[in-house]
Amino acid sequence: MEYIFLHLPQALVVLGLILLAIEVLVLGFSTFVLFFVGLGTIITGILMALGILPTSMLNALLATAVISTIVALISWQPMKRLQNKGEIHQVKNGMIGEKFTLFEDLAVGKTITHRYSGINWQVKANESLTAGTEVKITEMQVGLLTVEQVI
């Protein structure tokens, strides 16, 4: 324990890096608490190593608390926006592009049921299609296939 007190600035930087690693690698950046405390700890360790802050455990705790709070106040909104940014993308799978023949008419805005690959799917299209038309799958959602006529 004496070794840590003798090398407090280096120990703070290492502790901060460990906290950042836990936040990013284990928690997946889902909570920002360890991120803010980790940054505060690293900055405190650097300030102590540069001689700006006196090296003591009380100063380390106070400076980490103050710096973590300042970092949190400054970066909370940008980090929250970064976390909430969701991207919607079509999952690629083997059924996109597959072709089959419709056994009944399909009107725009309506769906029909079609058994495909052992599952009863609802099928919709952006154009009216007649029975016997060969179609290909262009989009998939849960229980719903979007198709278009094969040209």
**Could you read off the pLDDT tens digit of each residue along the chain, which spans 151 residues?**
788 889 999 999 999 999 999 999 998 877 789 999 999 999 999 999 999 999 999 999 999 999 999 999 999 888 778 777 766 665 667 788 889 999 999 999 999 998 877 889 999 999 999 999 999 999 888 889 999 999 8
- Residue type at position 103: F
122 half-sphere exposure, CB direction, 13 A CA radius: 9
Q: What ranges in the chain are assigned the alpha helix state H?
A: 2-6, 8-21, 33-49, 57-84
What pLDDT was estimated at residue 86?
66
* 38: number of Cβ within 10 Å: 23
Is 134 in contact with 103 (CB distance < 8 Å)? Answer: no
Nearest to residue 47, comparing CAs of 67, 72, 21? 67
CATH architecture label of 99-149: Beta Barrel (2.40)
What pLDDT was estimated at residue 35?
92
What pLDDT was estimated at residue 91?
60
Domain ranges, ordered by start, for the chain: 2-84, 99-149
What pLDDT was estimated at residue 90?
57
